Chain A
Amino acid sequence: MSLQNVMVTADIAARRRSGVMASLVALVVLLVLASLGVGPVRLSPVTVIDALFGGGSDVAQVIVREIRLPRVILGFAIGAMLGLSGAALQGLLRNPLASPSLFGAPQSAAFGAVLVISLGLADVRSYALPVAAIAMAFASVFVLLAIAGRNAGLLILILAGLAISSLAGAATALVMNLSSNPFVALEIAFWLLGSLEDRSFRHVMLALPFIVAGAIILFSQRNAFRTLSLGEEAAQSLGVDVGRLRLMVITGVALGVGGAVAVTGTIGFIGLVAPHLMRPLIGHDPTRLLVPSALTGATLLLAADIAVRIIPSTSDIKVGVLTSIIGVPFFLYLIMRERRALAGGVA
């Protein structure tokens, strides 16, 4: 194969990537329209677009702009953030099983939020909530990476993540256990399941600044992830400050996940799944995976949030429950595929 062929192959790959991106954007737009139209009152896409830009009946406007739009914005932003976080963590650790939920970040963030609520320090609409959630998410990822050390294998990361999420779960249970008001405990329990229902623009304002800040931080580090493909030492020799990169990624993930959890509870496994869906289409380059993974995360969460409204059931299914029901078997499948590495082979 000559150099020309190499360049042609690279061109084909680039064209394919833009095709995938365009399809993802189209998919997200369709899902946004669908999500604005689906609910107790079904609205056609034309009505939705009309209402969105201030036309149509007052009822349609209220439903679309005040009830469903915040939910859609949160669904998009949180899904995208989770997808981006998963891709960033997988890039940082050169490890296809890395993701916020496997590292216990959402669980820890939830503990932070629950603690603030039950101590009566803040009601569910104050900024104390996301701040506490972000602080705990930061602590959990930081501790995990500290335990794992510089060149952690899969096994250590997964075990440490399991321990941290169990600890966060136990701590949350303890708070609920000690809660004097059983209704508060029940409310927390439902909130923990993760949902986008009945969210208003106040919730959007609460979460969005943190999510956007986290996403910007993660995206600003994009080029460093590719150099990490060569290992930390080689990346460092190419001029990447790996210590600083780690801190930036932890901060970005914590801001995004903490902000998300503060308004929706725990929604897991989107960060794990999204990059895997993109690898066959985009390739393994960790830098190129970031944006497609974010769009895939948004697609997944928007779709899941539509699904919980369509699936007939006696009581509402929470979207966090749905993503876990689908995500955990996918995780098991990944474990099976990575069995050799996990058993101590090539890590």
Chain B
Amino acid sequence: MSVSAFLIAQGVSVRLSGRVVLKDISLALSPGHLVALVGPNGAGKTTLLRALAGLVPSEGAIQVGGDALSSLTLRERARRYLPQGHIVHWPLPARDIVALGRYPHGATDPARLTAKDSEAVLRAMQATDVVEFGARRVTELSGGERSRVALARVLAVEAPVILADEPTASLDPRHQIDVMKNLRQAADGSALVIVVTHDLGLAARFADTILVLSEGRLVSQGAPAEALSERVMAEVFRISAYRAEFQREAVIVPWAEI
């Protein structure tokens, strides 16, 4: 994997107000992969995602596409980072929100997009099936619709890395699957997609690689069934799980506390 690795972290540690949140994280991730980042509450998942996005200062080295993250300007670092919660503070039309994804490409005004930018916006809106409510204000949309708009905004950047923090939180099962399928598609289209999630079932079903964080350390990584082995489930999550295989995908259903 390291031969064609696109995102490389070596010995990354993060301290937030004196407390060590991440300790010595090393990983190498390739394009075309959907990576799920899982772990108990407070394990440092969001912090790792933000460190990889260059949003929090970290020790150690992070390389993206061969360049050191620290050598890039803020605009160059700009990646498809989707924060938790899909907040939109003003009732803007959904299309304008999606068009903000083109901001790093110099498209500062959603009303005046170049042909290339509007095509990217349209592609993203079609992928997430939000074209029909493009003119509606995001605040008038349902939670599921809004999360798809937020996802479209991230896809519209068309950057090689997507970092999504709990994109499926508070969605119904149908929309959870929708969102994961969209991310899966982006990965199949050669992007590197990293998703933070608490849903081990979704992670096992859709991810190529699972990274398990516990107390700021990377304790396990690999294909779903290996990374979420019975031992890891017991030690990290302190649960047992029902394990099976369905249509050649790993099925992991958290079952009982240990």
List, in ascending order, chain A residues with CB within 8 A of B101's CB. 238
Contact with B along A213-233 (1 / 0, CB 8 A): 000000000010011111101
Tell me if A10 counts as interface (CB < 8 A to partner B). Answer: yes
Q: Which B114-136 residues have C-beta < 8 A from chain A?
A: 122, 125, 131-135
Q: Which residues of B contact A237 (CB under 8 A)?
A: 53, 55, 78-81, 83
Q: Is A6 interfacial (CB-CB < 8 Å)?
A: yes
B96:A285 contact, CB within 8 angstroms: yes
Number of contacting residues on B, CB 8 A? 42
Q: Do B104 and A239 touch (CB < 8 A)?
A: yes
CA distance A36 to B77 in the complex (A): 54
- What distance in Å separates the Cβ of A185 from its nearest Cβ neighbour in chain B? 44
Listed residue (B73, B75, B77, B87) with the most chain A CB atoms within 10 angstroms of its CB: B87
* Complex CA–CA separation, A283 to B125 (angstroms): 22
Known: A9-B135, A285-B90. A236 touches B100 (CB 8 A): no
Q: Is the CB of B93 within 8 A of A10?
A: yes
- Given A231-B83, A233-B83, A237-B81, answer yes or no on A226-B100 (Cβ-Cβ < 8 Å): yes
Is B88 on the interface with A (CB-CB < 8 A)?
A: yes
- The answer to whether B83 and A238 have CB atoms under 8 Å apart is no
- The reply to whether B95 and A10 form a contact with Cβ atoms under 8 Å apart is yes
A 1-27 binary contact with B (CB < 8 Å = 1; else 0): 111011001100110000000000000
B135 partner residues in chain A, CB cutoff 8 A:
1, 5-6, 9-10
A2 to B95, CA, bound (A): 12
Q: A1-B135, A3-B122, A10-B135 are in contact. Are A239 and B75 (CB under 8 A)?
A: yes
Query: Do the beta carbons of A283 and B89 come within 8 Å of each other?
Result: no
Report B-chain residues with C-beta under 8 Å of the C-beta of A286: 90
Q: Which residue of chain A has its CB nearest to the CB of B87?
A: A231
B141 within 8 A of A: no
Interface residues of A, CB < 8 Å — how many? 30
| B103:A238 contact, CB within 8 angstroms | yes
Partner of B74, one of A6, A223, A241: A241
Min C-beta distance of A200 to chain B, whole Å: 41
Whether B75 contacts A230 by the Cβ 8 Å rule is no
Q: Are A228 and B89 in contact (CB under 8 A)?
A: yes
Contact partner of A229 (CB less than 8 A), chosen from B80, B89, B108, is: B89
Cα A283 to Cα B100 in complex, Å, equals 16
Assembled-state Cα–Cα distance A163/B96 (Å): 37
Residue pair B153, A236 in contact (C-beta under 8 Å): no
A-B pair number, CB within 8 angstroms = 98
Separation of A233 and B165 alpha carbons in the complex (Å): 12
A199 on interface, CB distance cutoff 8 Å: no
Q: Contact flags (1/0) for A228-266 with B, using CB distance below 8 Å? A: 111101101111110000000000000000000000000
Contacts of A1 in B (CB 8 A): 131-135
Q: Does B109 contact A (CB under 8 A)?
A: yes
Question: What's the Cα separation between A234 and B79 when bound, in Å?
Answer: 10
A71 in the interface (beta carbon within 8 A): no
A309 in contact (CB, < 8 A): no
**A-side contacts of B87, CB under 8 Å:** 230-231, 234
Task: Please name all residues of chain B whose beta carbon is closer than 8 Å to the beta carbon of A3 when the two chains form the complex.
Answer: 122, 125, 131, 134
Cβ of B111 < 8 Å from any Cβ of A? yes
Inter-chain CA distance A13–B91, complex, in Å, is 14
B100 lies within 8 A of A230 (CB): yes
Question: In whole angstroms, how far apart are the Cα atoms of A230 and B97 in the complex?
Answer: 8
A94 at the A/B interface (Cβ < 8 Å)?
Answer: yes
B81 touches A234 (CB 8 A): yes
Residue-wise interface mask of A (74-88) relative to B, using a CB-CB cutoff of 8 A (1 in contact, 0 not): 000000000000000
B16 sits at the interface (CB 8 A): no
Min CB distance B137 to A, Å, is 8
Partner of B92, one of A5, A14, A233, A285: A285
Nearest chain A residue, comparing its CB with the CB of B107: A223
Minimum CB–CB distance from B10 to chain A (whole Å) comes to 23
> How far does the alpha carbon of A230 sit from the alpha carbon of B153 in the complex, in Å?
10
CA distance A284 to B88 in the complex (A): 11
Which partner residue on chain B sits nearest A95 by CB separation?
A: B89
Asked if residues B131 and A6 are in contact (CB atoms below 8 Å), the reply is yes
Q: A238 and B78: CB pair below 8 A?
A: yes
- Whether the pair B83, A234 counts as a contact (CB closer than 8 A) is yes
Residues of A within 8 A of B76 (CB): 239
Inter-chain contacts of A240 with B (CB < 8 A) = 74, 103
Please, how many angstroms separate the alpha-carbon atoms of A240 and B73 in the complex? 10
Known A1-B134, A231-B89; contact A6-B79, beta-carbon cutoff 8 A: no
Question: Which chain B residues numbered 164 to 189 have a C-beta less than 8 Å away from chain A?
Answer: none
Closest residue of B by beta carbon distance from A231: B87
Picked from A9, A233, A283, the residue with its CB within 8 Å of the CB of B81 is A233
Residue numbers in A under 8 Å from B133 (CB-CB): 1
Best-buried of A227, A240, A284, A287 by chain B (most CB within 10 Å): A284
Interface residues of A (CB under 8 A from B): 1-3, 5-6, 9-10, 13-14, 94, 223, 226-231, 233-234, 236-241, 283-287
22 contacts between A and B (CB under 8 A): A3-B134, A9-B135, A10-B111, A10-B135, A14-B111, A94-B89, A226-B100, A226-B108, A231-B83, A231-B89, A233-B81, A234-B87, A237-B79, A238-B100, A238-B104, A239-B103, A239-B104, A240-B103, A241-B74, A284-B90, A284-B91, A284-B137
Having A230-B87, A231-B89, one finds 11 other A-B pairs with CB under 8 Å, namely A1-B132, A226-B92, A226-B110, A229-B88, A234-B82, A237-B53, A237-B79, A237-B80, A284-B91, A284-B137, A286-B90
